[in-house]
Structure 1
């Protein structure tokens, strides 16, 4: 019988590029690499027997993948769908698992604060939903809908009746606007606050630097060397920070910070300087605003809404301080803490850039609308529960 000649293959530039990536890619599966190599060699006009010898594959394997590519091109190199083993669990059981994961354990009578995959697997078996199931199977099903019932995030209701108006004032200042008018070149915005209780923890054994296959090691046992407060004010658009260390927070330490900043240029001769602060006891209410304007007539105190310190940009700087200076705390005494903070302040100011603040008034409106929808849904649920009772 005559032997069938090998199928002649001609590749486009795109196919050749894709096949080369498959054949030489470090993360390409071994079988896909072999199939791409077969096609590339066949496109060079080599016979099936020669390709089999070079790739150490059976000639029937070379013939099969050469023919499949000729019929279906690159997509044909993938494995065909197989029937496989019939599913062990039904779609209804999978839906019941996800529904249980979306309920609080206490609502179902289980004395747990949060579900874990092993606990969910045990509960499913106890309820008779499944005969037996592994925690890894439950985790795989939950991952399909990005469900992680073992995690939680905290949140807080908006209690300030003037939340939007106060938040908009702050956001407008970040955009260099006040009461609908753009700020002048001699008007500035400052974000200020206190970082309390920075402790001087003297480790009982020296901290070890990182080494080969070893992270930095900090001894767990320490001696307490006291704590101090770090007060800082940051020019929102100039990104320059001025800070000071005090034994504690209060009106006098905060006014000392204000005096330190306002006695320097360009703030001393500025037309207006807006101080954005939260509602801490050191600068709360109308009395604090009057006290600031009495000491410095060109200074205007602007409060963020209650429970909205996240609108104060100085909190971003404090998070940088926490990551790069304070943690892990290993200081011999409070003097070393103060020296480190002042040195970092100089280092930060040398290369600082304004924060890229992206939360605008439009985002604020979207946030409030979303919270209103949640509030209405909660009230409807409470009223339904009351009627049912």
Structure 2
């Protein structure tokens, strides 16, 4: 996966017609309608948001991020799951340049919507040029779309003050357009060399402190 971010797969550089997509779901974005209007920040006053609110439902936000072209494709669904995820895949793979690409690598975590060999087979059956690549278990932070989701959290859904889910969806779609108009690829700095160094340090620590390894295995 780290090689893919550097445009390499199994020791061979990717071609111009090969792409890397980082995808995931952001679950349960709620529409919270504040009982009193939010007050914008003033010269000597922070933004004021009423702590009581009415619930307007929740939606799932799915996004696919082209790692090297810095382009986001998103959609809102009622919930997460296999079908919503495949809807996102179809949305991306049905358009150029992905439809006619040699290969499109999809980097995903081990969530239930796209877990294991069954998910990989399902993706390839629907789109023969698509290749599913899983992050290691408990390492979803390596998925670059999580960086995009953190931007969405800060700039779109915080503070959460929406009348209804339609307003949430409109805000998310408007941000997608704005983001794609100005985005640059993330400056990803964790390489395979960094990973090798990290694993070597962990091995040395385990050798120097075997009692810690025994404790972790016991727990």
Counterpart of 1:141?
A: none
- Taking the aligned partners of 2:2 and 2:24, their CA distance within structure 1 comes to 17
2:35 is equivalent to residue 204 of structure 1: yes
Matching of residues 321-336 of structure 1 within 5 Å: 321-336=152-167
SS in 1 for 2:36: coil
* Aligned pairs, number: 215
Match of 1:237 among 43, 52, 68: 68
From the two aligned structures, give the one with the greater strand fraction. Answer: 2
- Change in 2 beyond 3 A, CA 1:235/1:381: closer
The secondary structure found in structure 1 opposite 2:69 is coil
Structure 2 alignment gaps of length 5 or more: none
- Closer, same or farther in 2 for the Cα pair 1:286/1:377, shift >3 Å? same
Deviation of the 1:227 alpha carbon: 0.9
Q: CA RMSD in A?
A: 1.4
Structure 1 gap segments, 5+ residues each = 1-169, 385-389
1:340 and 1:265 mapped to 2: Cα distance? 26
The answer on 1:182 being equivalent to 2:13 is yes
SS at match of 1:332: coil
Q: CA deviation at 1:381?
A: 5.6
Alignment of 1:290-301 (within 5 A): 290-301=121-132
Instruction: Report the CA distance between 1:249 and its aligned residue.
Output: 0.3
Kindly state the Cα deviation for residue 377 of structure 1 after the two structures are TM-superposed. Answer: 4.6
1:342 counterpart SS class: helix
Report the equivalent of 2:199. 368
- 2:21, 2:58 → 1: CA distance? 26
Higher helix share: 1
Write out per-residue CA displacement over residues 19-53 of structure 1, whole angstroms, 9 at most, x where no aligned residue: xxxxxxxxxxxxxxxxxxxxxxxxxxxxxxxxxxx
Q: Distance in 1 between matches of 2:166 and 2:187?
A: 33
SS at structure 1 position matched to 2:90:
helix
User: 2:208 and 2:138 mapped to 1: Cα distance?
Assistant: 23
Q: 2:134 aligns with which of 281, 303, 324?
A: 303
1:283-303 deviation line (CA, Å, top 9, x unaligned): 000000000000000000001
Task: Describe the shift of the 1:182–1:210 C-alpha distance in structure 2 as closer, same or farther (beyond 3 A).
Answer: same
Q: Equivalent residue of 1:358, what SS?
A: coil
Q: Distance in 1 between matches of 2:32 and 2:202?
A: 42
Structure 2 residue 109 is the aligned partner of structure 1 residue 247: no
The residue that corresponds to 2:100 in the other structure is 269
| Alignment-derived partner of residue 345 in structure 1 | 176
Task: State the distance in 1 between where 2:36 and 2:13 align.
Answer: 56
Task: Report 1 or 2 for greater relative contact order, CA contacts < 8 Å, sequence distance ≥ 6.
Answer: 2
Cα 1:361–1:214 shift into 2, 3 Å: same
Q: Deviations over 1:61-91 (max 9, x none)?
A: xxxxxxxxxxxxxxxxxxxxxxxxxxxxxxx
Aligned pairs (5 A) from 1:103-142: none
Query: Which of 281, 285, 289 does residue 120 from structure 2 map onto?
Result: 289
| CA-to-aligned-CA distance 1:112-136 (integer Å, 9 cap, x gap) | xxxxxxxxxxxxxxxxxxxxxxxxx
In the alignment, the residues of structure 1 paired with residue 122 and residue 140 of structure 2 have an alpha-carbon distance, to the nearest angstrom, of 21
Are the equivalent residues in 1 in contact too, given 2:206–2:213 (CA < 8 A)? no
